[in-house]
Amino acid sequence: MKATFATQRKAWSSPPVDDIGYLPAAELLSWSDQTLLDLIDEMEENRYKGWRNWNGNWRRVLGLDTTSNAVVLDYGCGVGLEALQYAKHRNNVLLADISEANVFLAAHVMRLHGYEPGAEIVLDKNPPFASLSEETLDVVHCNGVLHHIPRPQPVVKQFAKWLKPGGELRLMLYSDQAWRIATGSEPPERVEEHPDFLEYVRYWDAVGDYADWYDVERIAERFGQWFTIDICDPLTENAAYLGVVLKKL
């Protein structure tokens, strides 16, 4: 099945909950406040004390403990776990997702912890943009999202417009090694044309119709006209996940 905005929106309305599964946001919104708080506590434990945060790289590279008093757009906010980390450090956090239920859920999670989102944005269809003023953001945080977008350049170009001079685009991306782990083959230039494409997609995600891979060269080739690479480090011991910080030119 070809990835379309409609299929992606439907699929990602069940966002990932680390080491638990892909749970419908609409269902999570029906849970009691305490049950949802317990889930978020468990998710924090799994992500930040588990294999994803190898040597503390996830929190370090993505600046979750060192960013404060900034305007941060969490693009593809999912359940709101990363938005919550930024909110804890006095940042103005804007939520954005292609799924309305995800945006409502992330906002609810923030409010349960005593924080108010700066905006709640349901992204419109292809390419998924939002109505934001230019040069108003300090950080665009995009965790596990960009590699699911078949045409990422227009989205990244828009990120550059929203960011202030010197602003940062922070990414968690599947790497070239993620492709090798999933398929046992070398990563192709055009993933969707490779016979192992669906095997790769399903190895890493139970939902969605598209996933790409990235390395330093591919990041520079695709996005170098708007950003320079500041950090590109593995987040996991097997190097399947990359943590990337891009600085606006």
Residues 33-48: pLDDT tens digits? 999 999 999 999 999 9
In this predicted structure, what is the pLDDT of residue 127? 54
Do 100 and 120 form a contact (C-beta atoms < 8 A)?
Answer: no
Instruction: For the chain, give every domain's residue range.
Output: 5-248
CA distance 127 to 147: 14
- Per-residue pLDDT band for 131 (boundaries 50, 70, 90) equals confident
- pTM value is 0.96
Q: How far is CA 217 from CA 126, 151, 166, 176, in A?
A: 26, 17, 21, 11
Query: In the predicted model, what is the mean pLDDT of residues 237-246?
Result: 98
In this predicted structure, the answer to whether residue 160 has a pLDDT above a threshold of 90 is: yes
CA distance 96 to 105: 11
CA atoms lying within 13 Å on the CB side of residue 66? 7
Share of the chain above pLDDT 90, in %: 94
Query: For 5-248, which CATH superfamily applies?
Result: Vaccinia Virus protein VP39 (3.40.50.150)
- Per-residue pLDDT band for 101 (boundaries 50, 70, 90) equals very high
CA distance 216 to 174: 12
Share of the chain above pLDDT 70, in %: 98
Q: Write the pLDDT tens digit of every residue in 48-100.
A: 999 999 999 999 999 999 999 999 999 999 999 999 999 999 999 999 999 99
In this predicted structure, the answer to whether residue 128 has a pLDDT above a threshold of 60 is: no
